[in-house]
Amino acid sequence: MKNTALITGAAGGIGKEFAKIHAGTGGDIAAVDLNSEGLASVKAELEEQYGVKVYTMTKDLTDINAPQEIYDELKENDIEIHYLINNAGFGGIGKFHQRTWEQDLAMIQVDVIALTALTKLFLPGFVERNEGRILNVSSAVSLIPGPGQAVYFASKAFVTSLTRSIYGELNDYDVTITALLPGATETGFGDHSGMNKTSIYKKPANSAEVAKDGYDAMMKGKLEILSGLPFSQRMEIAVAPLLPTKKVVDRIRKSQTVKD
């Protein structure tokens, strides 16, 4: 396989759009998702349309062993990864004290631990070869507090901070790491998390456009990029650090109130 991109959450949403973009460049794909039928569909579509190879792995990233299993399986099949796109993730609305530990632990496992583990596993090889690019899908909400989605906002804050820090460690290598910070986007995320019933999801961005922004930023070696946010939300995020924290918290809480 050539110029291979490992993409998690590749069966739909932004992940599938990443796969389309990469396949369009002639690159092969190692696609990971829990949805085996979705993976089979992506494989058939991209191999037929672009003539690339798509290797699929049905994995549950809530399993702490999944990242190592992914790495080992690729090694066993002599598939060298050139691009790592940590796209898989999910959220869930609800007050911290009302949500179950199982719900939040699963979120932390996918959004934080799996992403960190995959980066830890593949980055040393990138550095050794002095080539490779990583794209971590974070969120614009990583820059603000998140009452109503405390663990999700915090997990994305971790992703953004981790990406920024690693970026600063790679200045001596031809290896880059980029954070994509999208706003509300047309994927299954809104339905699954319950966010589609809040004011934040009034005008979700197009997933293909968000994926292109992220992919292009990765290829240019940018540190991070905001995507899919209307001007008003961009301004809110920009001025948030200048406002009293309590005022920002109250504003976000109101914006995440679920409307029937």
Annotate 106-174 with three-state secondary structure. Answer: HHHHHHHHHHHHHHHHHHHHHHHHCCEEEEEECCHHHHCCCCCCHHHHHHHHHHHHHHHHHHHHCCCCC
- For the stretch 132-181, pLDDT in tens is 999 999 999 998 878 899 999 999 999 999 999 999 999 999 999 999 99
| Among 53-62, 128-137, 181-190, 251-260, the least confident range | 251-260
Please say if the pLDDT value at position 185 is more than 70. no
pLDDT at 257 (0 to 100): 64
Task: Tell me the pLDDT of the chain averaged across its residues.
Answer: 89
Mean pLDDT of 216-235: 86
Rounded to 5 degrees, φ, ψ at 176 are -130, 155
Which has more pLDDT, 162 or 189? Answer: 162
pLDDT at 198 (0 to 100): 53
Please say if the pLDDT value at position 194 is more than 80. no
Does residue 10 contact residue 16 with C-beta atoms inside 8 Å? yes
Q: How far apart are CA 23 and CA 207, in angstroms?
A: 17
Per-residue HEC secondary structure of 59-123 comes to CCCCCCCHHHHHHHHHHHCCCCEEEEEECCCCCCCCCCCCCCHHHHHHHHHHHHHHHHHHHHHHH
pLDDT at 247 (0 to 100): 62
Under 8 Å CB-to-CB from 129, ≥6 apart: which residues?
Answer: none
pLDDT at 243 (0 to 100): 60
Between strands 132-137 and 175-182, the pairing is parallel
pLDDT at 184 (0 to 100): 84
Question: Domains (ranges, CATH) in the chain?
Answer: 4-255 (3.40.50.720)
R_g of the chain, CA atoms, integer Å: 18
